[in-house]
């Protein structure tokens, strides 16, 4: 192909698409969290709740999921949850992003 376009520094094509789908499913489940103990009402967390949690707390939860995965626990999708938490920590790690709102983030589909 001989078309011309600008160069980009990111290799989005290399991001594993199945991994992204698994993270998207975790995020979808997270907006309507249902605690596992019986009889507890569903808590609607919404799309932005994770932005109100510190990067360190996200990392702590990711490490918990990794540890449970390594211990052989199969009660949850621990790798999916750990990956999601680490992506959240990455997003929140940049101080300039803490004050900037993403325009579509408050809008539920």
pLDDT tens-digit map of 80-107: 999 999 999 998 987 665 555 555 455 5
Specify the number of domains making up the chain: 1
Residue 29 in tokens: 């489940």
Domain-embedded: residue 92:
yes
Say if 88 falls within a structural domain: yes
- Residue 74 is assigned to a structural domain of this protein: yes
Q: Which residues constitute the domain of residue 38?
A: 16-99
41-75 residues labelled b (16+ CB within 10 A) or e (exposed): eeeeeebeebeeeebeebbebbeebbebbeeeeee
In a domain? residue 2: no
**Is the residue at 10 inside a domain?**
no
What pTM did the predictor assign?
Answer: 0.73
Percentage of the chain lying above the pLDDT 70 cut: 72
| Domain membership flag for residue 6 | no
Q: How far apart are CA 80 and CA 100, in angstroms?
A: 27
């Amino acid at each position: 192909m001989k078309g011309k376009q600008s160069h980009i520094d990111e290799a989005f094509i290399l991001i594993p698409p199945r991994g992204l789908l698994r993270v998207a499913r975790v995020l979808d489940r997270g907006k309507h969290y249902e605690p596992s103990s019986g009889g507890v009402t569903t808590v609607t967390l919404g799309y932005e709740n994770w932005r109100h949690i510190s990067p360190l707390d996200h990392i702590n939860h990711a490490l918990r999921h990794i540890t449970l995965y390594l211990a052989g626990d199969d009660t949850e999708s621990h790798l999916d949850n750990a990956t999601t938490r680490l992506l959240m920590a990455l997003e929140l790690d940049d101080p300039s992003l803490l004050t900037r709102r993403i325009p579509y983030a408050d809008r539920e589909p």
